Structure 1
Amino acid sequence: MCVKFSDDLGMDEEAVDLGGPRREFLRLLMEALALSPMFEGRDSKLSLALDSTALREDRYFIAGQAIAVSLVHGGPPPGFLAPTLYSSVVVGNSSIKPVLEDIADADLYEKVKKVSECSFLDDLLHTTEPLQDYLANAGCLRPLKCIEDRDLLVQDITMFQVVHRVAGAFERFKEGLKVLGVLDASLLFACLFYCVLEQEGPSKLGKILAFATGASVVPPVGFSPQPSIDFLHEHSSSPKQRLLMANTCINCLKLPLLDTYEAFRESMDFAIGNTQGFGRE
């Protein structure tokens, strides 16, 4: 894979892709997937959402392909996937038990949460009244005869909302993951892949890593060559030479030698905060 970035005028950057532009592209691709309408959730742990346009244009398949390509070609893992979604991929929908927190729809979550907290049958009947249409569409509408029916109802609602409702999208997503043998590998090494796919997302350290290498986390296949640090010994009054630099193709961070820590921190913050992408100084 060879990646070239261009500006708004269509002018390509001059650098040859030796790894940096590719990692940058794949990092941006994973970030775009997490923000797409195909995924929903809270606390950066996302499940599949149901989007008619994405279904019609087969984007769920493309999303699975994108993740597979990123994992194989040195990009970051999709650290935004919820554990329930990952379990669905490796063990199948019939064996998983989604939890209430997997429901991304805030309004539905609050209503189902109230149902789960009912202690008496009268409360349960009253609390489920606003959900009657939803329960009918979900196939969960049935007489509630005792308070013990509460737990099964909550389980059925959660299973429908998180799993059954998006079954078509999930199958296409799973098909996309078969690209380059990634799905087969995840089935053989489920525990290893779980650790890989649940890495934490970008932090301030991740931004520094992205500045130096193009990737905000260590790719599952590692870095080649290994990241290194050089020091800029030239002393100049030029503001440009007081800023850190990087060569993402060889994963090298180049740090200026400044008189104080405060000056160094300002240089770091300014450079990293104002160079999002290739072709900028």
Structure 2
Amino acid sequence: MPVSRVVDCPSEWQYAALFVDEELSESFEDPIPLSTGIETSHHERDIGDILCELASQIDTENVSLFNISRNHLWEGAKRGFKKKTFLPCKRLSVKFMDNTGVSEGAVDLGGPRREFLTMLMESLHQGSLFVGPDHAKFLNYISGLMVSDDYFYAGMTIATSLVHGGPGPQFLSPVLFEALSSTPEPTFVAVQDIPDMDIRNNLEKLLTYQEEHSNTANLFEPIQTLMQLAGTHKVIRNADDYRKIAEGTAHWYIFGRTQAAFERLKEGLKTLGVLDAMTKYPNAFKHVICYTEDTLTAKTFDNIFHPVLHPLGSNKRGTENLVLSHWKDFIQELQDEPSDVTLMSLLFFSTGCRTVPPLGFRTEPTVDFLHDAEDNGEKSRFPKANTCNCTLFLPTVHEVYEEFTEAMRYAVLNCQGFGFA
């Protein structure tokens, strides 16, 4: 029996158990903000408020259509951005294609868009446009990507994701973010920031060189060409001059060498006014552009999803109470016992996002229950999700906790996207 992650806001249903209030789903109401845990002073604004203001530009009556193959996500995204009919202020409508080129059959009322934007951020993180540690990446200058203008589209992607309800990248180096939200020239670059280990090690030798030495050929020879390109040659008068050469060369390596790519990235970030907002409110944007330790816990997960319950005393309510006890133990187990299923993957299954987007969800995420029989006359053994209105439907047939968790894990691991896995 194939497992389904419920067709996300489909125009035609193969399952009869799920009913969607399309009038409610299609409305573009103000998002429901969820606390980020980031305190802001009276001089700052909350990131959700800023993005809500930027999102007011979106024309919900017109759409920019993206036809996307998951195996060629970045190329499909660029193709969509390049369409003559594309405008970033139009509502994004995403239709995923399976591996044979057949549409997965979802009308995008929010879920496919969030999944698309989430996957785009992951594609940027894993791609060749950026280099360095997972949580602190810098631009990686590649001439071929300059020709295809990928750095511009990367900036546009980040801006579009933030304003259209997707996640931020959360992997750019704080040093790169500082330069983007101000200018590169005064931004300090430590030698330790350089991702190339050979260059970093050779520059670190300059930092640790404390004694006067009549022959520095061995010290400078490995970085001679780099220093010439950076223009950091100078007469050595004292130990501090070694530091100045090392830090000046590091700054050029991070920003001077990648200047053209940096400017195209900034140009893309201007989309929908995001760069201007970053410049005005850097503290608000930093935690969605750079990595922040913001672990999804069972408690926050439980607070995100609110159960839709039948009246007390009803037979269905009794069943729901049992399922809820299983559900709460399950999400606690995912927090306490790391495995191939995580709270992030469960959130992705339910909403199309691995983290709560900075703009929040447009409808309050809910937990509902699969009480009714399907077309085959039996109740579903597996959970389903409507990611457009962020509803997770839990099976009601499992009285034993282990059977419930097995069904939950199987569904999350085996269902990708919209339709049938």
Same fold (TM over 0.5): yes
Matched, 1:244 2:383: yes
Q: Please, which moves more after superposition, 123-132 or 79-88?
A: 123-132
CA distance in structure 1 between the aligned counterparts of 2:404 and 2:198, rounded to whole angstroms = 47
Give unpaired runs (5+ residues) of structure 2.
1-91, 297-341
Matched, 1:184 2:324: no
What corresponds to 1:146 in structure 2? 238
SS at 1:184's partner residue?
A: helix
What corresponds to 1:46 in structure 2? 137
Question: 1:77–1:199: 8 Å Cα contact kept in structure 2?
Answer: no
What corresponds to 1:72 in structure 2? 163
**C-alpha displacement of 1:262:** 3.6
Question: 2:139–2:258: 8 Å Cα contact kept in structure 1?
Answer: yes
Question: 2:153–2:268: 8 Å Cα contact kept in structure 1?
Answer: yes
CA distance in structure 2 between the aligned counterparts of 1:260 and 1:142, rounded to whole angstroms = 75
**C-alpha displacement of 1:199:** 5.0
What corresponds to 2:353 in structure 1? 215
Residue by residue over 1:136-186, the C-alpha shift from the partner in whole angstroms, topping out at 9 and shown as x without a partner, is 222223343432222111211210111111111111110111111111111
- The TM-score normalised by the length of structure 2 is 0.61
Residue by residue over 1:85-115, the C-alpha shift from the partner in whole angstroms, topping out at 9 and shown as x without a partner, is 1111111112210222321112222222333
Q: CA RMSD in A?
A: 2.6
Q: Please, which moves more after superposition, 268-277 or 33-42?
A: 268-277
In structure 2, relative to structure 1, the CA distance for the partners of 1:278 and 1:44 (3 Å cut) is farther
SS at 1:148's partner residue?
A: helix
What corresponds to 2:338 in structure 1? none
The sequence identity of aligned pairs, in percent, is: 39
SS at 2:97's partner residue?
A: coil
In structure 2, relative to structure 1, the CA distance for the partners of 1:278 and 1:112 (3 Å cut) is farther
Question: 1:71–1:220: 8 Å Cα contact kept in structure 2?
Answer: yes
Matched, 1:274 2:419: no
What corresponds to 1:91 in structure 2? 182
What corresponds to 1:232 in structure 2? 370
User: Which of 277, 285, 289 is the matching residue for 1:193?
Assistant: 285
Q: Please, which moves more after superposition, 170-179 or 114-123?
A: 114-123
What corresponds to 1:114 in structure 2? 205
* Greater Rg over alpha carbons, structure: 2
**C-alpha displacement of 1:46:** 0.9
How many pairs were matched up? 280
Give unpaired runs (5+ residues) of structure 1.
none
**C-alpha displacement of 1:55:** 0.8
User: Which of 157, 175, 187 is the matching residue for 2:249?
Assistant: 157
Matched, 1:35 2:126: yes
In structure 2, relative to structure 1, the CA distance for the partners of 1:199 and 1:228 (3 Å cut) is farther
Question: 1:245–1:253: 8 Å Cα contact kept in structure 2?
Answer: yes
- The TM-score normalised by the length of structure 1 is 0.90
Q: Please, which moves more after superposition, 76-85 or 223-232?
A: 223-232
